[in-house]
């Protein structure tokens, strides 16, 4: 058993069935998680590339506002 790194809920999965880079969804919070290690099983949230791009655009907008 492993805990969700986002909401800390227990995730009941068969650890032997997963390999590094596999993904799964937390039933409690709906976060998409990636397996980063199998011994011991370790999960991390999957970052959405669209969110990263949106953040970059927001930063550029803020920079442009400063110079107006």
The pLDDT value recorded for residue 9 is: 97
- Residue of 38, 43, 37 lying closest to 11 (CA atoms): 43
Judge whether residue 61 has pLDDT over 80: no
Among all chains, which residue has been given the structure tokens 């959405």? Answer: 48
Residue showing tokens 């442009």: 64
The total number of structural domains that make up the chain: 1
**Which CATH number goes with the domain that contains 43?**
2.20.28.160
60 φ, ψ to 5°?
-65, -40
The whole domain housing 8 covers: 2-66
pTM given for the model: 0.67
Phi, psi of 36, deg, nearest 5: -105, -15
What would the pLDDT profile of 14-35 be if each residue is shown by its tens digit? 888 999 999 999 999 999 999 9
Q: Is 15 helix (H, G, I), strand (E, B) or coil?
A: helix
Residue carrying the six token digits 């011994």? 39
Tokens in use for 3? Answer: 């805990």
Res 58 pLDDT > 70 = no
């Amino acid at each position: 058993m492993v805990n969700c790194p986002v909401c800390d809920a227990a995730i009941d999965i068969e650890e032997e069935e997963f390999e590094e880079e596999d993904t799964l969804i937390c039933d409690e919070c709906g976060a998409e998680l990636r397996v980063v290690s199998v011994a011991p099983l370790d999960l991390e949230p999957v970052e959405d590339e669209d969110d990263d791009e949106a953040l970059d655009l927001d930063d550029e907008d803020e920079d442009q506002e400063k110079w107006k």
